[in-house]
């Protein structure tokens, strides 16, 4: 069996030899592993069912293969996509903002220098999405293309087990405009497809009143998806 998605030039095949040939040519390829077939490790993705291989699946295989950011979705005002290295300098401003640093790093014993934070962000956007399949995303104001927020999911230890955490940072110039709520509304719809989970925790310092109000609003709007945990760092 051999099939090519004509829009993205992604090869779908159950033939191990074709998989290896495509990989050798740096071509995106999906291996359909039939029951009892040999394992093949050169494919971009291996699937055991063809039922849910839609256009979006092949588009994302193509984008991941060539290092292009996935578009998670759009609202009336926002576009949410994976972050890129071109976003790093703008994201850096989020982490050097005095208000954000107070709540992000209090209790850690040290603050990262600007250069240390820059390198951490570069490593994040290079490695996070390909390894985990999800993470924090750039939230763009569609009218101007400005980076309005950074929001998404990560793992966290809570009560002795690993849980999914929802987090959000809003650019200073976009605060108190409902950006986080609008972005998280879209992320709540995509959460299960992205992470495999249907519920995430929002951890918030009890004295961070602005973030706490946003978290409480989100938990009220989407009680089936989010739970607020108030804790000091």
Residues 209 and 114 occupy one common structural domain: yes
Mean pLDDT in residue range 126-140: 95
Q: How distant, in Å, are the alpha carbons of 8, 15, 48, 59, 99 from that of 32?
A: 17, 8, 6, 17, 49
Residues 50 and 165 occupy one common structural domain: no
pLDDT in tens, 31-80: 999 999 999 999 999 999 999 899 999 999 999 999 999 999 999 999 99
End-to-end C-alpha distance for the chain, whole angstroms:
54
Residues 76 and 167 occupy one common structural domain: yes
3 state SS of 103: helix
Please say if the pLDDT value at position 4 is more than 80.
no
pLDDT for the residue numbered 218: 95
Domain at 79, CATH number: 3.40.630.30
Contact present, 183 and 175 (Cβ < 8 Å):
no
Q: Which of 65, 87, 106 is the last residue of a domain?
A: 65
pLDDT for the residue numbered 105: 45
Mean pLDDT across the chain: 90
Instruction: Write out the residue range of the structural domain in which residue 37 sits.
Output: 2-65
pTM: 0.87
pLDDT for the residue numbered 93: 85
Residues 146 and 61 occupy one common structural domain: no
Residues 7 and 98 occupy one common structural domain: no
Distance CA 93, CA 99 (A): 11
pLDDT for the residue numbered 232: 73
Residues 127 and 186 occupy one common structural domain: yes
């Amino acid at each position: 069996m051999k099939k090519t998605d004509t829009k993205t030039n992604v090869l779908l095949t159950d033939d191990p030899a074709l998989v290896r040939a495509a990989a050798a040519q740096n071509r995106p390829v999906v291996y359909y592993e039939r029951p009892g077939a040999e394992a093949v490790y050169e494919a971009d993705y291996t699937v055991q069912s063809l039922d849910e291989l839609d256009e979006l699946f092949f588009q994302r295989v193509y984008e991941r293969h060539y290092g292009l950011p996935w578009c998670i979705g759009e609202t009336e005002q926002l576009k949410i996509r994976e972050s890129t290295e071109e976003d790093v300098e703008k994201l850096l401003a989020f982490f050097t903002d005095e208000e954000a640093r107070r709540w992000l790093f209090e209790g850690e014993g040290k603050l990262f220098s600007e250069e240390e934070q820059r390198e951490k962000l570069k490593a994040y956007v290079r490695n996070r999405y390909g390894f985990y399949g999800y993470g924090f995303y750039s939230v763009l104001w569609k009218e101007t293309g400005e980076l309005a927020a950074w929001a998404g999911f990560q793992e966290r230890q809570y009560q002795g087990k690993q849980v999914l955490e929802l987090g959000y940072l809003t650019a200073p110039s976009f605060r108190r405009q409902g950006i986080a709520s609008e972005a998280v509304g879209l992320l709540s719809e995509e959460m299960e497809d992205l992470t495999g989970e249907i519920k995430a925790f929002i951890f918030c310092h009890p004295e961070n009143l602005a973030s706490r109000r946003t978290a409480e609003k989100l938990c009220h709007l989407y009680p089936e998806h989010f739970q607020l945990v108030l804790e000091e760092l």
